[in-house]
Amino acid sequence: MIERDNSYQGLMSRKNEIMKAAVGVDYSQFESGGLSFDYEAMMASTGYSLEDVIAIQRDLSIGRTPIIELKNLTALARHCAPPGLGARIFIKDEAANPSGSFKVRRAAISIHQAKEKGYKGAISATSGNYGAAVASCCARLGLKCIVVQECFDSKGLGQPEIIEKARKCEALGAEVVQLTVGPELFYIFLRLLEETGYFNASLYTTFGIAGIESLGWELAQQMREEYRLEPAMVVCTNAGGGNLTGTARGLRKAECRAQVVAASVNLKGLHMASDRQFNLKSFTTGHTGFGMPFTTWPDRSDVPRSAARPLRYMDQYVTINQGEVFYITEILAQLEGLEKGPAGNTSLAAAFSLAQALPQDQAIVVQETEYTGAGKHVNAQLSFARQNGIEILLGDPRQEVPGKNIILPSHPSLIQAQAADMDHLRLSLIKNALKAHPELERNAQGRVQLSPQDLEFLVAETNSNRAFVEKALESL
């Protein structure tokens, strides 16, 4: 029996070799020196074409989910909009997938790969929807499944939404390892990967992102075939960035040039790794606590190079408040007869606001919905918020302070998506890239000397141009 140093430092020192064995990808082959790497070569290395991805997913009854026009919600948006404005609002109903969310698209390719390579099982570190997706695919393909879930604060209290997701994972056959908030999640995740030899069904591998490309491609084709429309805007709830990245790549493969908008719940001021603040938020994903950090430095993920690189693809980034998402969830149920979970309704709340600035003959599409359940319901989340000292108020959501109150809008016209400063996000990514590579050469004045290859990489990473990157480097 091999004796290993399983202290935190000992395990972390083996992180790269554990990941390489658990994913079966040698990331070093894509590195090109400096801070750049060949992203497109990494994506192509899956060996799966878009046609392959679609075929794998359809064999697992995944995809071909309906697009639904929200006529009543559109009418309400037009009532709030200036004359002539108020685009038609559509949703892609990904809750119709086997596990109840779009994430089964990314799980399908990962678990297919695991099966092909002879792994006996897969492990996922997730708050839940993706865990359920991995569990669903493992069940279909005969693999074992472990879901490692950050679930409780140090008092043993877990949010209703997270507990519901754990129930879903277990119902689909997964073993769920529930942990308190903090660095132990990654430690336990690594240790389980090493001890079991299971596949790392990471949210951030090339397999996972390739799996979402079918969503963007399908959305574009359905809008053309069923509604004779080209979407003017596609809104994606943004956390780790894989949802937006894969959808945008699929739209491009369908030659659809819709604006791609990221939407996150505003949780400014709350720290995601804080035990005290863990239960002061009412959203476990799709919020700025994940969305902003992963947008401005994707490689903070659990693989050496994340395939989720949202800033490359987003045209806008907007935030929406907690009360606005809860409100739109109720409106969706009462006006359209559709009860859906909070993740997709984050982008729906943003779309309701954005539609009011677009002409009525245009279309705005929310590219996902998710299943709902007892723990994900508005009432459960608001009751839990009250128990944690959060005030529930009716009024102007702009006055909402995350961790102190949740303000439901007193009128739908008060739902207003707030635009983030895209150039600030771009500058932050460049700053983080330099910080992550302290070994880069510097001149006598201390300024980083980047190769032309590194400059072009930052241009692509920031979805900008060479002049912007060079000016940013001078300012830093």
Residue at 10 is within a domain: no
440-464, pLDDT tens digit by residue?
Answer: 877 777 778 889 999 999 999 999 9
Q: Which residues of 401-427 are buried (b: 16+ CB within 10 A; e: fewer)?
A: ebbebbbbbeebebbbbeebebeebbb
Is the pLDDT at 186 greater than 90? The verdict is no
Phi/psi for 206 (5° steps) reads: -60, -35
* Residue 327 shares a structural domain with residue 452: no
Share of the chain above pLDDT 90, in %: 84
94-135, pLDDT tens digit by residue?
Answer: 999 999 999 999 999 999 999 999 999 999 998 789 999 999
H or E element in which residue 137 lies? helix 129-141
- Averaged over 219-227, what is the pLDDT? 98
The pLDDT score that the predictor gives to residue 58 is: 98
* Residue 321 shares a structural domain with residue 464: no
Write out the two tokens for 321.
């408040």
- Averaged over 297-325, what is the pLDDT? 96
Residue whose entry in the numeric block shows the structure tokens 């779009």: 102
Taking each helix axis from N to C end, the angle separating 71-80 and 342-354, rounded to the nearest 10 degrees, works out to 40
Structural domain for 449, as ranges? 433-475
381-400, pLDDT tens digit by residue?
Answer: 999 999 999 999 999 999 99
Q: Cβ of 434: how many Cβ atoms within 10 Å?
A: 17
How many angstroms from the chain centroid is the CA of residue 150?
16
Is the pLDDT at 289 greater than 90? The verdict is yes
Residue at 29 is within a domain: no
* Residue 302 shares a structural domain with residue 438: no
51-73, pLDDT tens digit by residue?
Answer: 999 999 999 999 999 999 999 99
The pLDDT score that the predictor gives to residue 2 is: 67
Is the pLDDT at 41 greater than 70? The verdict is yes
The pLDDT score that the predictor gives to residue 4 is: 87
* Residue 215 shares a structural domain with residue 319: yes
Share of the chain above pLDDT 70, in %: 99
Q: What's the order of all strands across the beta sheet hosting 121-125?
A: 175-180, 144-152, 121-125, 199-200
Residues 48 and 226: their CA atoms lie apart, in Å, by 28
Contact present, 408 and 326 (Cβ < 8 Å): yes
* Residue 267 shares a structural domain with residue 367: yes
Write out the two tokens for 213.
């490309």
The number of helices, as runs of H, and strands, as runs of E, in the chain is 18, 13
Q: Which of 419, 442, 460 is the last residue of a domain?
A: 419
Q: How many domains does one find in the chain?
A: 2
Residue at 186 is within a domain: no
The pLDDT score that the predictor gives to residue 16 is: 84
pTM of this structure: 0.96
Average pLDDT, the chain: 95
Residue at 287 is within a domain: yes
Residue at 357 is within a domain: yes
- Averaged over 29-43, what is the pLDDT? 93
* Residue 276 shares a structural domain with residue 315: yes
Is the pLDDT at 31 greater than 80? The verdict is yes
Is the pLDDT at 1 greater than 60? The verdict is no
Residue at 298 is within a domain: yes
* Residue 249 shares a structural domain with residue 372: yes
- Averaged over 364-370, what is the pLDDT? 97
* Residue 319 shares a structural domain with residue 440: no
Is the pLDDT at 426 greater than 90? The verdict is yes
Say which CATH number the domain at 232 has. 3.40.50.1100
Residue at 65 is within a domain: yes
* Residue 239 shares a structural domain with residue 274: yes
* Residue 217 shares a structural domain with residue 302: yes
Is the pLDDT at 15 greater than 90? The verdict is no
* Residue 345 shares a structural domain with residue 447: no
* Residue 379 shares a structural domain with residue 265: yes
Residues in the chain: 476
The pLDDT score that the predictor gives to residue 441 is: 79
Rounded (10°) CA dihedral 291, 292, 295, 301 = -70
The pLDDT score that the predictor gives to residue 118 is: 97
Give, in order, the Cα–Cα distances in Å from 462 to each of 296, 302, 310, 465: 9, 21, 9, 8
